[in-house]
Amino acid sequence: MKILAFPRDSNPYQEQLYAPMRADGMTVSYLEGPTKSHTLNFLLLPAVLVAKRLFGYNVFHLHWTYPFGLPWAGSVGRHMMQWYFIGFVRLIKFLGYKLVWTAHNAKPHQRQFSNDLKVSRFLGRKSNVVIAHSSSAESQLMDLRIASYTIRVIPHGNYSEVYENTVDRQAARKRLKLPQDSFVALFFGRIDTYKNVPALLDVAKELKNAHPELYIVIAGSCHDLALQKQLKAAKRRLGKQLQLHVKFIEDKDVQNYFNAADLAVLPFSEITTSGSVILALTFGVPVIAPRIGALIDMPERTGFYYAPDDAAGLKNALLAALKKKSLAPHRRAAFRYTKQLAWPEIAKKTIDTIS
């Protein structure tokens, strides 16, 4: 079995999955164009797909569809890329690849095609196997009629071998210039609309005076101008109690943020699977998040979870955490949970599923 993966992403997920496969002698590579031009490479993908098939690749592993988006081209671009993507999938099947789709998202978080749900349903029908990361994610796919009998549940692995974890809390807080006796709530990851960061900022404003020990740290890149303005406005209101690190966080610096944090707050408005939650738990940081998507299946003690339709859920969850004398039991639960998510076992289960 020779696996062709697409697209190659900066997310460590892919190489954590494929490294054990390669160690067992399997061939795994990425579908990429032969030139330095992104546009030309994209146009040449079908030809490369044919060539790879001739070289014996027989499994096509699709992770995300974002390379097919043309956000600058408006509705015409979305319509054009929808048909291009449908043709691309049909070519994969025509060439005899086994199509495996890991549904990190049931459909794109930001509109990508003319009809994102229709495309996801088409992809689900054409896939030989659809991988979901939890039983709740599986239910979400089935409820949306994206897939049913082709779904296999394989969990998302941990990040214990990805990032350094040598800095203690005192040193991490010193590096980030946070008071040692503060209660630090961290949002970490790319700042997008669906991640609902403004909800966290609103709650922080409500609790500012009653809980001067509460410090909010927002760390991650943001390309949305409207969200950037909201962050700056919140900084003016919250002052020192809000730290903004609106930039790409280098791998070597990730440990500083999580080891400085008491909690990771991830108030998503929609989600299928969240690597951000797994990342926080890998560092032993309990989370605050709504019970949606894969988060429905998270063990209770790993964080403070709330119903997505509870308007006060985020605030009450944060208050509950603030009132705790110690979060040590939650930290231990987080460590225990992610220890179960070892990549060699996940890679083996993936191989058994797609063989």
Domains of the chain from N-terminus onward: 2-155+342-354 (3.40.50.2000), 169-339 (3.40.50.2000)
- The tens place of each residue's pLDDT in the chain, 355 residues long, gives 999 999 998 889 999 999 999 999 999 999 988 887 877 888 889 999 999 999 999 999 999 998 887 766 678 888 889 999 999 999 999 999 999 999 998 877 778 899 999 999 999 999 999 999 989 889 989 999 998 888 999 999 999 989 999 999 999 999 999 999 999 999 999 998 889 999 999 999 999 999 999 999 999 999 889 999 999 999 999 999 999 999 999 999 999 999 999 999 999 988 777 789 999 999 999 999 999 888 888 999 999 999 999 999 999 999 999 999 899 999 999 999 999 999 999 999 999 999 8
Contact 67, 7 (CB under 8 A): yes
Predicted local confidence at residue 354, as pLDDT: 92
The CA–CA distances, whole Å, from 243 to 150, 227, 240, 265 equal 45, 15, 7, 14
Q: Quote the tokens at residue 183.
A: 């209660």
The residues with which 59 forms a beta bridge, in sequence order, are: 3, 98
Beta strands in 190-329 (DSSP E): 214-219, 242-245, 263-265, 287-290, 303-306
Report the half-sphere exposure of 32 (CA within 13 A, side-chain side).
9
Residue entry with tokens 């079995």: 1
Helix ranges, 24-113 (H): 38-54, 74-94
Predicted local confidence at residue 72, as pLDDT: 64
Contact 158, 339 (CB under 8 A): yes
Q: What gap in Å lies between CA 65 and CA 60, rounded to an integer?
A: 13
Of 183, 190, 324, the closest CA to residue 245 belongs to 190
Backbone angles phi, psi at 88, to 5 degrees: -65, -45
Predicted local confidence at residue 306, as pLDDT: 96
Predicted local confidence at residue 71, as pLDDT: 65
Predicted local confidence at residue 211, as pLDDT: 96
Residue entry with tokens 């440990």: 255
Report the predicted TM-score, pTM, of the whole model to 2 decimal places. Answer: 0.90
Q: What gap in Å lies between CA 108 and CA 119, rounded to an integer?
A: 10
Amino acid at position 287, single letter: V
How many distinct helices (H) and strands (E) make up the chain? 13, 12
Element (H, E) at 235: helix 225-238
Other CB atoms within 10 Å distance of the CB of residue 132:
29
Predicted local confidence at residue 163, as pLDDT: 94
For residue 248, give the DSSP letter.
P
Of 209, 210, 214, 211, the closest CA to residue 241 belongs to 214
Look at the chain and count its residues: 355
pLDDT in tens, 209-231: 999 999 999 999 998 899 999 99
